[in-house]
Amino acid sequence: MNTKKTLSAEARRKTVLSAALAVICVIYVLPVVAVVINSFKLNTFVKTDTFALPTGEMYAGFENFIKGMTFGNYPFAKSVLYSVVITLLSTALILLCTSMAAWYIARVNSLFCKALYFLCVFSMVVPFQMVMFTLSKTANSLHLNTPWTIPIIYLGFGAGLAIFMFVGFVKSIPLEIEEAAAIDGCGPLRTYFSVVVPMLKPTMVSVGILEIMWVWNDFLLPYLVLDKNLYRTIPIHIQYLKGSYGTVDLGATMALILLSIIPVIVFYLTCQKHIIKGVAAGAVKG
């Protein structure tokens, strides 16, 4: 009898939990649904009938997409190119440098390595707003204000999470494997690329996915660092969809927002299983 009551209570608890999570999912998905609906709606109806379906006189077809991509004198394709370049370069730099640093930190048991590790972890809790003004001035002084140099700044801000995950995984790799490679004549670089990197693949994929989504969607850092007249990423391009007297075409804005989030959503849904594997692989005792 007690077993039946326990099972019944457990079933009710799971039902309540599932209902609560379903409500949370709806709340998170609702803004995305609003963006999709309003991207096909005429600008005059975006504010008045925000959650109404784009039917009848409200339907704009692909007019908003064409208007958003041809607005102003800055081509949207150029913004896409800069976003792709910055995202790929930043992610590649973060993966290479942080995995090397994490391997060194995990294998060299010194006070310096421990201090460096805790500094990297501490950087994760420092708000970007605390350093953004000095960062902007420093980036201009060091000429880091181009799409080809801003990945160095992203490396600094993305190193904390990446090193935290890589160190946890490297500590789970048996040291004997690297010792065997050294006996066979492998130097540090060959050991890293031939032995360590293949075993780091789950965490590398996970970190890479997280960094790509972060850099692709980032607005504030490129806005502060880059010259907006020369270089605009997709978020900056969307922000400049303004007419005279500060008027904004919300329909065109929603259309470009939809174009910018589709690649991220598809990319995340395709690779989400790798995120779970990478986090689980890095969550080991140190």
Mean pLDDT of 177-181: 84
Q: What are phi and psi of 108, to 5 degrees?
A: -100, 110
**CA 36 centroid distance within chain:** 21
CB 234 within 8 A of CB 215: no
- Of 44, 22, 79, 124, which Cα lies nearest the Cα of 230? 79
Single pTM value for the model? 0.84
Mean pLDDT of 75-81: 91
Residues 156, 249: Cα–Cα separation, whole Å: 36
In sequence order, what are the residues at sequence separation of 6 or more whose Cβ sits closer than 8 angstroms to the Cβ of residue 282?
164, 165, 166, 168, 169, 203, 206
* pLDDT tens-digit series, residues 121-166: 888 888 888 888 888 888 888 888 899 999 999 998 888 889 988 9
Decide: helix, strand or coil at residue 144: coil
* pLDDT tens-digit series, residues 256-268: 999 888 888 888 7
Residues 7, 186: Cα–Cα separation, whole Å: 58
* pLDDT tens-digit series, residues 180-222: 888 888 888 888 888 888 888 888 888 888 899 899 999 989 9
Measured N-to-C along each axis, helices 201-217 and 250-282 cross at an angle, to the nearest 10 degrees, of 160
pLDDT for 165 equals 87
Domain range annotation of the chain: 2-64, 75-249+260-282
Q: Which CATH number fits domain 75-249+260-282: 1.10.1270.20, 3.40.50.450, 3.40.50.620, 1.10.3720.10?
A: 1.10.3720.10
- HSE, CB side, 13 Å, CA atoms: give it for residue 135: 19
Residues 194, 184: Cα–Cα separation, whole Å: 12
* pLDDT tens-digit series, residues 86-129: 999 999 999 999 999 999 998 888 899 889 898 888 888 888 88
Which residue type does 178 have? E
Residues 99, 211: Cα–Cα separation, whole Å: 14
CB 84 within 8 A of CB 216: no
CB atoms within 10 A of CB 186: 16
In this structure, the dihedral spanned by the alpha carbons of residues 257, 260, 261 and 263, taken in order and rounded to 10 degrees, is: 160
